[in-house]
Amino acid sequence: MKVSFKDFRNDVPPNWCPGCGDFAVLAAMQRAFANLGLRPEQVAVVSGIGCSGRISGYIHTYGFHGTHGRALALAQGLKIANRDLVVVAAGGDGDGYAIGLNHTIHAIRRNMDITYLVMDNQIYGLTKGQTSPRSAMGFQTKSTPKGSIEAPLSPLMMALAAGGTFVAQGFSSDVNQLVSIIEAGIKHRGFAFINVFSPCVTFNKVNTYDWFRERVVPVETIEGYDPHDRKLAMQKLMETDGMLTGIIYQDPDSVAYEDRIPGFRKEPLVRQPLKPSREDFEALVAEFV
């Protein structure tokens, strides 16, 4: 049965602010799933807390709206339990780079076969406009009325340093590029880390759509760029102050975490017999007698 992006729509209208970049991220996910020929029951979207965390309720797939900073912990558990599912985790820069940063770093280095989308608006939107780990120095908000004195986190360089095998960045104003990035991330055998510039039109009046349009540098515009060169990726990220978009780095020889687990069956738990064989049962009992 042929699927379209409409098959991934549900009847729950998003309550994001008009113009929020997250609308485009949702549309890109729906288009990518359809382009890959996936059916709604083959996909699970796991999200955390924040404006972006609502995305799991706005898409017609399996969904789980988790707790703050724990989307990746839940997504990895889900993937281990059912390897047949395409698992996509989603959240914001506060969810993934503040309370959930420890999970993010270890998920990157672990390299489980899931895709992680971070909607980066460089502010806390749901709690009405405080600095996030991505806010620039001098950024004025309710929590930093005299300007932030902290340096912003550089997520893509962090991901490369942590051993990321698929590191990419999109911009919600360029949906076509974002769709292709998500498709490539899902097909990648390993952890696909995708940061998405997703402007907050209500509380962030600095990092606007126009601000990003003037600064983003698509990798396609860089002559001789090789996405398989980790050193080059790091170099260009530093040269562009992290404003590269596209597939920044991909390891063509990536081996997923699941494929490294000794004795890990290919069949998901739901398809495995729960009753042990007589031989397995006796061997287990023998360990305790």
Q: Is residue 177 within 8 Å of residue 246, measured between CB atoms?
A: yes
CA angle 82, 175, 106 (to 5 degrees): 40
Domain 5-287, classified CATH 1.10.3720.10, yes or no: no
Residues 13-69: tens digit of each pLDDT = 999 999 999 999 999 999 999 999 999 999 999 999 999 999 999 999 999 999 989
Residue 271's pLDDT is 81
Share the mean pLDDT of the chain.
95
Domain ranges of the chain: 5-287
Q: Return left, alpha or beta for 253; rule: phi > 0 is left, psi -120 to 50 is alpha, else beta.
A: alpha
pTM of the model: 0.94
What does the pLDDT profile of the chain (289 residues) look like in tens digits?
789 999 999 999 999 999 999 999 999 999 999 999 999 999 999 999 999 999 999 999 999 999 989 999 999 999 999 999 999 999 999 999 999 999 999 999 999 999 999 999 999 999 999 999 999 999 999 899 999 999 999 999 999 999 999 999 999 999 999 999 999 999 999 999 999 999 999 999 999 999 999 999 999 999 999 999 999 999 999 999 999 999 999 999 999 999 999 988 888 877 877 788 899 889 999 999 8
Q: How many CB atoms lie within 10 A of CB 78?
A: 17
Residues 231-258: tens digit of each pLDDT = 999 999 999 999 999 999 999 999 999 9
Q: Return left, alpha or beta for 268; rule: phi > 0 is left, psi -120 to 50 is alpha, else beta.
A: beta
